[in-house]
Amino acid sequence: MIIGFFAVKLERFGCCLIAGWAGFCLGVLLNESVFYMADSVPLMWTINGVLAAVCGALAFFYFNQSIILATSLIGSFFTVRGLGIMLGNFPNEYEVIAQMNS
C-alpha cells in the first residue's frame, strides 16, 4: 500500500516502476528466445537488470509513450505465459534457469 500511495502521488515514479517491470519482462523474453544458448545465469540476470534500469530511466523522460508500451508488453508477456501454462509442456523460465545451474 505504501508503494501504491507513492505511485499515485508521484506519477513519474510509478511510471518508472511499470516501465522497469516491462524491461525485466522484455529481458526474460529475450533470454528465452535468444540468449538461452549462452547457458549462463549471470548473463541472464545482467540482461534483465540492465533492461529494467534502462526502461525505467527512459520512462521518466517519455512518460506517455512508456505507459502505453509498458502495459502492452506486460500484458502480452502474461498472455503468452498463461497460454504456455494452459497448453502445457512449456516450462517456466525460472525452471529453465534452475536446470542451467545443475
Please state the separation of Cα 44 from the chain's center in Å: 12
Please state the separation of Cα 30 from the chain's center in Å: 10
Residue 96 has pLDDT above 80, yes or no: no
Range of the domain at 32: 2-101
Q: What is the pLDDT of residue 20?
A: 92
- Tens of pLDDT, residues 61-95: 898 888 888 888 888 888 888 888 888 777 776 77
Number of domains in the chain: 1
- Tens of pLDDT, residues 9-38: 888 888 888 889 889 988 988 888 888 788
pTM above threshold 0.85: no
CB atoms within 10 A of CB 83: 10
